[in-house]
Structure 1
Amino acid sequence: MRNRILDSAREMGVHLTDEQAEKFVRYHEMLISANKQMNLTRVPDDVIEAADRNYLDSLNAVKHLSGVQTLIDVGAGAGLPGIPIAIACPHIRVTLLDALQKRVGFLQSVIDALDLNAEAIHARAEDAARKPELRDAFDVATARAVAEMNVLSEWLLPFVKPEGRMLALKGPNAEEELARAENALSQLNGEALSVHPAPVPGRDWDHKIIEIKKTAPTPERYPRRASAIEKKPL
Structure 2
Amino acid sequence: MAAYTGALRGELLNLRWADVDLDKPQIHVTGTAAVIDRQRVEGTTKSGRSRVVSLAPTTVKVLKAHRARQDEDRLKVGEAWRGSAYVFTTGWGDPPFPDTPSHLMPKLIETHNKQNPKTPLPHVRLHDLRHIHATTLLLAGVPVHVVAARLGHADPAITTPGLRPRHHRASGDRRGRLRRSTQKHGLMSCAKRALHVQGTLSNLPDRCRGHSMIAMSVFSR
Tell me the TM-score normalised to structure 1 length. Answer: 0.29
The answer to which structure, 1 or 2, has the higher relative contact order (CA under 8 A, 6+ apart) is 2
Structure holding more strand per residue: 1
TM-score under structure 2 normalisation? 0.30
Q: Which has the higher helix share?
A: 2
